[in-house]
Amino acid sequence: MAKLTVLMYHATYANDVELNAIDAADRPYAVALDTFTDQLHSIQRAGYTIVSQTQVEQGLESIVKPLLLTFDDGHRSNAIQVTPLLASLGLSGLFFVTSDFCRLRNDYCNDDELRHMLDAGMILGTHGVSHKFMADLSDEESRGELEESLNWLQEVLAQPVNCVSFPGGRYGDRELEIAKRLGYRWVHDSTFGLHTLNSEESFHLVQRIPVRQQHSSADLLALIDPNSKQFRRTRAVSFAKTTLKRVIGNGNYDALYRRFAS
């Protein structure tokens, strides 16, 4: 079975003013635009093939070292910086957008920008309504997050949507079952690792590799190499964090993270 490397980005920024405008808790995952550009070229020079979500769905058997770019939350930089760059290089990304962020905040993509991204060859998926951790919600609230965000995005784009990313990677069997019933086929979480594609399955739970602000192109290449010490170390740290979340709870873990991120 084919192995797919899936990178998880968030916002980009062109200068310190744009960086400081990003919420403090989100800055560790904001990547400088110049760094992001260099990472794209470094990935390709290293022999990876940057693929679109459409190619993933069609099958990757003939593609060498496929790699998918994903972006969480729907920050406006996805529309005004990332999309033009990818389009100019003949590339595509998969963007998961949080509906209330896009509807209520000026620093997130509005409806017209989302449609422009679609026209430019990008693929869009949902990321919940409020960015609340779905595993902590009631049955009704969890379903509402998945269903309302889906209905909203399908109306904005005037086409079906079948991809979702769970905010914070917090989900359980309940959320997976709800996603299946609503017609999602590709579910992305925040578990560190490579994704194994199985063409016989109709429902896919996708592991990803998060890209942080401090990652240089060299760091990133080491991070996505399953034979590297950095890959093994990061996977172990990710497992430890997942265990800690289960022990102290999602809310306590998030409060702890935000305290140290500020």
| CATH of the structural domain 3-261, one choice from 3.20.20.370, 3.40.50.2300, 3.10.150.10, 3.40.50.300 | 3.20.20.370
Q: For the chain, 262 residues long, give each residue's pLDDT as a single digit of tens.
A: 679 999 999 999 999 999 999 999 999 999 999 999 999 999 999 999 999 999 999 988 889 999 999 999 999 999 999 999 999 999 999 999 999 999 999 999 999 999 999 999 999 999 999 999 999 999 999 999 999 999 999 999 999 999 999 999 999 999 999 999 999 999 999 889 999 988 788 999 999 999 999 999 999 999 999 999 998 998 888 777 766 655 556 565 555 545 555 4
CA distance 42 to 193: 20
CA–CA separation, 178 vs 193, rounded Å? 24
d(CA 29, CA 11): 7
Q: Which two tokens stand for residue 99?
A: 């509906």
One-letter amino acid of 258: R
- Cross-strand bridge partners of residue 49: 66
Domain positions in the chain are 3-261
Distance CA 193, CA 210 (A): 10
CA distances from 148 to 95, 100, 179, 190 (A): 17, 10, 12, 22
Extract the tokens encoding 173. 């069997």
pTM for this prediction: 0.91
